[in-house]
Every structure is written in structure tokens, then in C-alpha cells.
Structure 1
């Protein structure tokens, strides 16, 4: 059997699809299980033994520019994929996507599985599925396997992610330079694009002092580089600055790209992150994560996007994380440290 899974989403979304890959491999141990992803998110599944091959492509439009060479390469890739004559093509989107469905149809699989709705569908989708409501995104992905006869277990397989070697090498060098040992610190990040999901400067200063005084753990404080008005990738430089200005000796700042950040997260004792892609990667790390959610009547709720794993926990605030009491937050962090 030959199966192709289309996954065009963000990095955290790709990570949340890895339980789906594991279920497929368990059900069809001899199948060829390929993934079609873009160059932005394909590296997330490097080294994943549940996947036979990753086909990657560059986006044709990035940063407002059209990349004609990428368009040509995608056309050639489409012909190569059609020649594979896949038995199943699965559109691994949590919602119905006309563009993803169209791409799947172009690839000519014998059976095509996708979530659809009134506006996003195609007559050649052989297994159109209704979009499930209020279930976790990882289970929503796994639910796409039901037309293949896969029965979903009560507990999905764990997230699977292999820390890149260069990320580990960076962490080893950087930690030595900062006088930190693996497991000797907590990572706290500002990875959300909405201020209501982020702890305040005062909360960060109080929590990190407790980490240091009560547990002897310093804090690696990280944030998304850049200005908040960046239309492509809003950053948190302005939000992070008051924490830096406080100049606390137990806070070690890190402002850098994603893969080095992952190296630091995976070498820490545990992590705290707002709802974000980094939160999901931290959930897959040895130390786990405490995630923060707020105003979930208008923002994505934790029952769909909460961190998952044996060392994953989350807190939900009515309107903003600033409402969460220190005692509650610190008790949850301590529980993670004891797991």
C-alpha cells in the first residue's frame, strides 16, 4: 500500500500530526507512508521512522514575492508524485482547505480523504469527512485515518520529534558559555502573538525569583525576535525589554532563531510557554511544559490546542494570563519538576 499525506501547515501543526503517522505505521507496518510538506515545516519530521519519504517544496509566494523557479519545480514534482500512483492521499488539514484539496486531486490518488464543507470540497474526494468539533488537533488529524479502517485508541501515540544535531551542538556551547548545566534551568518564553496569553513583566520577575530561591534553578528567558508590527512574523522585543531592564542575575536572556531555541528547551528542566508552536515542541521535550491560554471564548481553546504528553500541563485564564495567581502557577511548575 502506498499512502501520501499532505501537510502544509505551521511547525507546531506538523508536530501534532506525528501521532497520526505512528498510528498508520502500527496499522500498516509494510506500507509506504510518504509526506508532502513545504521546506518551512518538513524538517520537523526528519528522522521520523514512521515516515518512508518526505517530499518537500518551496512555497511559490513568500514575503509578497512570486518565485517562478519554485513554481516550475512544483510542477515537476507534481508529475513525479502522480507517477507514484498512490493508493491513498490524505489531506491533513484540521479544517477544509480548497487549495489543499485541489493539490491532492492533482496528484491523482485512487482514494482521497479530506475534511470538507459547503465551500471547500471536490467531486474527486472519495472520502469527504465532516469537520469534528471541540476535539484536540492531534486527534482531529488521526480521525482522517478512519476511512482506512484505523480505529483510534483512547490515548494517541506520543509526539515524535528528533532534536537536530546542530541545535544540540548550539545548546552545549551556549550553556557552557553562560555557566549553565543541562537540567539546571527552566525555560520561560514569550511565544504568543497576543499579549493576553503572555505573563506580565511582574509575573516573570516573581516566578523566576522563586525558581532561583526555592529550587536553585535559573531561567533562560526567550522571546520571538522582532517588532510587534512586523506583518509576517510579529516579534516580542518590546515586551521582553522591561524584563531585561530589570537585570535580575537569575534570568539569562536568549534572543535567537528557532532551532537554537529548541536546543535550549530540550536541555532544560521544564518550560513555561503561552499557546504557540514552541509550547508544543516543549511538550515533546524531556522536561515538558506548562502552557498558558486566555479568553478561550474568542481564542483557540486548550481542548483543541493544549500541549499533550506525559509532562504537559496548561492553565486557562478568563481574560488574560495576568489574572493567574502565583501560587497556582508555581504549584503546577513544581508538579512538572517532580514527574
Structure 2
């Protein structure tokens, strides 16, 4: 079998399952909304059970039109996928040929690079600035004929920071490749460039239901672009890429946007409270327009891997980024939990520092 596997797949790391999650720990490592989805979503799931013997609607069914209204675009300018991860891989498949390049400002969401490698392409990384900002002119200068896609997460994951709209406009206007602006946290940041999709044919916007609507386990994401780009993407999808439960719960979530807004408001308030408390402990904390904060442990001389492990010993999970994505060994990311969960995180950090 070894001689049958593509060499670029052999070069990838083996996947290892995460430990099984228990109800006793506090999980702040995946940027999940700490609240259950809207009651309308829960009812929609119950109502959908008798329909599970039928295949889902193609092209997103009624959800496509509802999303178009929500995003203030035409129905033909929306594509729905099995989470934004699925759409990232689809974009790479459609726009990049093997051995061509994808430009990725690092640190950022690792799925951009993984999808490029899976499709036999070459991820080319550019280092972000001191505060994880982007040097737009440098990115433009690095684009070559082999560059087919640039991924920009806005806000960025794991650092939480935003790119100014005018900087994004400069980038889109001055490159001859696709620019994908990943707005997975749009409802929290309230910044978008989706209004430009017909001004710039090389722009594609990604969004997700995982964070703001609390549907992470159902895997539902969507893209916004000009109709021709969306048509090409749909030509390359599976026939039924999104399951019926996801389609129906997406519809239900959009009928109760006020629920999502209220939960996001709570998360943003908690985010600023948590950021202030952790800064008072002596950590470096970066500004965030998301439901997480990015923390630098270097001011306290603590390796992030050690701190993350000691938090796990107290049943609190955050994500270690020390030594990853081109970073020094001093960074971790924590999602914003409930008020009680955030207090327990503060208490656990205090214990770690007290014991040296």
C-alpha cells in the first residue's frame, strides 16, 4: 500500500484523537460559545428527527435564501458547507493546482496550511508584525505567478486582532489572486468586507455558525462571493455536503438572531473583564474582537506548555500555542466561558503563580 499513497499525504502528520471529554472539566480550548443554542434551534432538531430517512436539500435548500437575506447579498452569492473547514478545503481544491502556492500570514488558523498540503500545494508563510498586525505592502510584494490564494482571518485566530478595512482593500486591489477573508467571528467583531464582493471578483468571505450561534458540533459554514465564483465552487462540492439537521438548525438560528446577540453581548463583557484580571496578574494580553483572548506568559517567565499542563491538572483546558505557528514558547489562548468558568480560570492561574 505504501507505494499507492501520494507523497504529499505521507508527509502529513498522523492524526491523534483528543482525550474523551468529561463533564467535570472546564473546556476553554476550542473557542466554543459557552451557552447552549437558541430554544428555536433545539425545537428544530426535535422536529427534524422524522425526516432523517431522507437526503438533505442540495445547494443548501431554503437556508441559502435565508442566509442571503441575512448577509444582504443575492442567493447566487452564497455557498453553504460542512463547516468553514470544509469550505477552506473546497476553495483550495478549486483555485489551486498541485505545486502552486497559498500565501498565509502566520500565526493564524492552521487549517489554511493543512488544506493546501492535502491538495498537494505549497503553503508559504509570512510572519506577522510585533502585535500580529499585517504588513500589506510586504504581502503584495511577496505574491508571484504561483500564488493562487491569500488567506486572511479577520479577526485573526489565535491572536484575536482585526485588520483595517482600508488595508484589506489595498490588498485585494493589488493582487491577481483570490483573497479569502475569513470572518468566522463576524457577529462579535461586526466588521465585514462582504459588501465588496461585486466590486472585487477576487474576494471571497467565509463565515460560520459554530461560534456566534453555538452550533459547533453540527458543522455549518458559508461563503459569500460573486455568483461566478460561487458557481465554480458548487461544481466541485459533494452532492449532499451539508446534513439535514445542520440546514434546519441554521434556519432556526436565523429566526432567533436576538438570542445570539444577547449571548454575544455577555461573552464580550466577560472577555473584557477576564482580560483586565489576567493583565493585573502580570500576563500580556492582546486586544480581541472575538470570544477568546491570546495571552503572553513571557513577562512572568513561565513557559506556556508548563502553565497549560498545570491548568489541566486543575481540570481547566486552554490551548497552548508556545512554539507553534512560528511563535516563541510563551503563548496560550483561552476561550471566554461563563462568569463562573472565567472566575475558576482566574483562581487556577493564581494557584499556578503562587506555587512558582
Same fold, TM exceeding 0.5? Answer: no
Q: Which has the higher contact order (CA 8 A, sep 6+)?
A: 2
Please state which structure has a larger fraction of its residues in strand: 1
Q: TM-score, normalised by structure 1?
A: 0.35
Q: TM-score, normalised by structure 2?
A: 0.33
